[in-house]
Amino acid sequence: MNVPQQRVLRTAIPGPRSVELQERKTAAVAPGVGTTLPVYIERAGGGILVDVDGNQLIDFGSGIAVTSVGNAAPRVVSAVQQQVDDFTHTCFMITPYEEYVAVCEKLNALTPGSFEKRSALFNSGAEAVENAVKIARSYTGRAAVVAFDHAYHGRTNLTMSLTAKNMPYKHRFGPFAGEVYRAPMAYPYRWLGEDCAAEAFAAFVDTVHTQVGEANTAAVLLEPIQGEGGFVVPAPGFVRLVADWCRDNDILFVADEIQTGFCRTGDWFACSFEDVEPDLITTAKGIAGGLPLGAVTGRADVMDAVHVGGLGGTYGGNPVACAAALAAIETMQADDLVGAARHLESIMKPRLGALAEKYDAVGDVRGRGAMLAIELVGPDKAPDPVLTAKISSACHREGLVTLTAGTYGNVLRFLPPLVIGDALLTEGLDILDAAFAAV
C-alpha cells in the first residue's frame, strides 16, 4: 500500500465517520477494551495512518512498538500474501512447516549469547512470558519468580501478577498467581539514594535472600528498558549486576525484550548495551511487522529441559505470522534499522532535551534509540498525569499519534516506526513543541 508520507487534516480529530464508528464500538464492544484515540484507521504505510475521514496522522506509537519496519511494510505484505496463498494453518505440533524453523534459526542467531540456543513460538508477548516461566520452573525445579517495581509483562493471570501497576491492569482481577516476588528497580530519576545501581542491586539481593531464598528462585525477570512502566532505563550497570548475580546463584536471568527487541533501542536487543547474555529472552511486538507472534529463545540446555509436548498451542508460530517475521527481519537487516533507530535518536533526543530546558514540567528525558520518553512533573517531582494527558490530546488533535505510560501516568513516550522520514519526524516534534506552548 503506497501511502504518501504526509500529514493531512481534512476534518477535526476525530472526524465524523470516526465518531460514528466509536458510537458503534460503544454499543458493541466491551468497554474494558479502551481507546487511546478514537480515530478509525482504514490504511497505513510507513509512518502514516490514514483514517476513515481521509485524515493522515503521523505515527509516534507504532501500535505500541510493533510496526518498527513501518506499517504494511512491502516485504511483509508480499510474504504474507504469498503465505496465505500457500496455506494458512496446519498447527506446527501436528504437521510442521519450514517457516517456523527458519524463524527459530533467526532468533537463535540474532539474540545475545554465544552459546547454543533453541526457540519456541507463541501468539503474544504475554504468552511468551508465561512460557519462559514454565521453562525456567521446569529446568530448575523451583517455583519462585522475581520481577521489579514498574514492571509490565502482560495481562494473563501470571503475567498480570508479574506486572507492577494496579490501574488499569490488575484492579479487581485477583487473586493473582503465587510465587511472584517484587524487588526495587534502579529508576535513576526517582531514586532517593546516592548510587542508584549499587543501592537498588543491594535491595534486590536482600529481597531475594530474605523474602524468597535463592534455592527457591527459578528466575529473575527484567525488562532491560521498562516499557509500560515509563521507559525507565535502569541505572548503568544494574542489568549487568543482576544478571551476573543470577548466574553466580544458579538462578535463570530472563530478559523481557518484548518492547525493546528488534532494533528498537538502536541495537538488536537492549541487553547488548551492558553486554548481558540472558539465559532466556522473550520477544514479540516488533518481531513480525504487525502480525501476532511471540517467542522464547534461550540456552539449549534450559530449553531442552521441558518434556516433549510440554510447550505449544494451536496457533503458536502460525505460518502467516512466521512469514511476516522472516520478512520483517530481512527488512531490518537489509535496511539497517539498527542504524535507523540511532539516527532517529540523534534527531529526537536534542529536541526533547530542548523541551526540558524550556519547560520545568519536563523533569526527565530518557530512553534509547527510537524508544524515548519525557516524564512530566510539578514541584518536587510530583507526577503530573493531568498535564501529560492534556499534551497528548493536543498532539492527537493536530494529527500526531502519541502514547502515554508510567506507573504514575505521567510519561509521554515516543515509538515511531524506524522507517519514518526525517521530515515527518521533525513535523511530529514541532507539533509536540506547539502542544507544550498551547496547554
Binder to ligand PLP among 13, 129, 400, 411 (CB under 6 A)? 129
Q: Which parts of 336-355 interact with ligand PLP (CB under 6 A)?
A: none
Phi/psi of residue 430, each to 5°?
Answer: -65, -40
Grid cell at residue 211: 523474602
Binder to ligand PLP among 72, 104, 126, 185 (CB under 6 A)? 126
Is 149:183 a contact under the CB 8 Å cutoff? yes
Closest CA to 183 of 151, 149, 138, 223: 149
Closest approach, Cβ 172 to ligand PLP, in A, equals 20
Is 10:54 a contact under the CB 8 Å cutoff? yes
Q: Which stretch binds ligand PLP (CB under 6 A): 28-36, 195-203, 251-259, 328-336?
A: 251-259
Please list, residue by residue across 243-268, b when 16 or more beta carbons sit within 10 angstroms of its beta carbon and e when fewer do.
bebbeeeebbbbbbbbbbbbbbbbbb
The reply to whether 125 sits near ligand PLP by the rule CB under 6 A is yes
Q: Which stretch binds ligand PLP (CB under 6 A): 51-59, 125-133, 197-205, 409-417?
A: 125-133
Is 73:328 a contact under the CB 8 Å cutoff? yes
Closer to ligand PLP by CB, 233 or 435: give it. Answer: 233
**Which strands make up the sheet holding 294-299, listed edge to edge?**
117-122, 294-299, 280-283, 252-256, 217-222, 144-148, 180-183
Q: How far are the Cα atoms of 85, 314, 403 from residue 15, in angstroms, in the given order?
A: 36, 40, 20
Closest approach, Cβ 225 to ligand PLP, in A, equals 9
Closer to ligand PLP by CB, 51 or 267: give it. Answer: 267
Bin 147: left if φ > 0, else alpha if -120 < ψ < 50, else beta.
beta
The reply to whether 228 sits near ligand PLP by the rule CB under 6 A is yes
Is 52:42 a contact under the CB 8 Å cutoff? yes
The reply to whether 256 sits near ligand PLP by the rule CB under 6 A is yes
The reply to whether 153 sits near ligand PLP by the rule CB under 6 A is yes
The reply to whether 124 sits near ligand PLP by the rule CB under 6 A is yes
The reply to whether 286 sits near ligand PLP by the rule CB under 6 A is no
The reply to whether 370 sits near ligand PLP by the rule CB under 6 A is no
Per-residue string for binding with ligand PLP, 72-111, x by CB under 6 A? ----------------------------------------
Closest approach, Cβ 353 to ligand PLP, in A, equals 25
Under 8 Å CB-to-CB from 125, ≥6 apart: which residues? 153, 154, 256, 258, 282, 284, 285, 294
Closest approach, Cβ 381 to ligand PLP, in A, equals 24
Residue with cell 528462585: 217
Q: Return residues touching ligand PLP (CB under 6 A).
A: 64, 124-126, 129, 152-154, 223, 227-228, 256, 258-259, 284
